[in-house]
A and B are shown apart, each in its own frame.
Chain A
């Protein structure tokens, strides 16, 4: 009865992720050693999985196009919203 509080799932997720990041920083560091391990992992994965290269390139293209399209949509929405408010103000 006393232990009725159940921490939310996001609290445990944050704890797990921060622990993993903490251990990664402890083991691989943040500067040169980490960059070395990162490059080695990516190189080996590209050698092992040739499809990775194409897939990675496709993901990058889709990702950056999505960002640009979203930015344009947000900008146009902002303009429409401002115009709408401006009409309300002057009328």
Chain B
């Protein structure tokens, strides 16, 4: 656990790439380096396997929308070209963070709409708003699942 947090702190704070990599390769070759740090690094090297399991399990949930299908597409991209996927991993990071922030904003908008009596009848959307809700559900922007 300590080694994991140490590795995480190094990953977050160290911004000098070359310095870190040289240090890291020196550290690995030294026998006096902590074995738990090396084991944590070993786990980091084989990170793709849990990553892909999480992607598939998230993609195969009961709720079928574009967000979950997109996760399955990411898995397919990884299976086709793992190195290209790793080079463009920033896209997945943005995808995951965008949907967390977006669902918070969606909740705020939903609360505002629920307080507006004209839009809602008995807590259910009516008219054009109903169609908007359906589209939001299909695109995976809503929070009910």
A77 at the interface (CB under 8 A from B): no
Q: Is the interface of A mostly helix, strand, loop or mixed?
A: helix
Q: What number of residue pairs across chains A and B have CB atoms under 8 A from each other?
A: 111
Residues of chain B at interface, number, CB under 8 A: 47
Instruction: List CB contacts (< 8 Å) of B1-55 with chain A.
Output: 8, 11-12, 14, 17, 20-21, 24-25, 28-29, 31, 33, 35, 38-39, 41-42, 44-45, 47-48, 50-51, 54-55
Interface flags for A46-72 (1: CB within 8 Å of B; 0: not) read 011100000000000000000000000
The answer to whether A23 and B51 touch across the interface, beta carbons within 8 angstroms, is no
Residues of chain A at interface, number, CB under 8 A: 39
Q: Which residues of A contact B (CB under 8 A)?
A: 1-5, 7, 10-15, 17-28, 30-31, 33-34, 36-38, 40-42, 44-45, 47-49
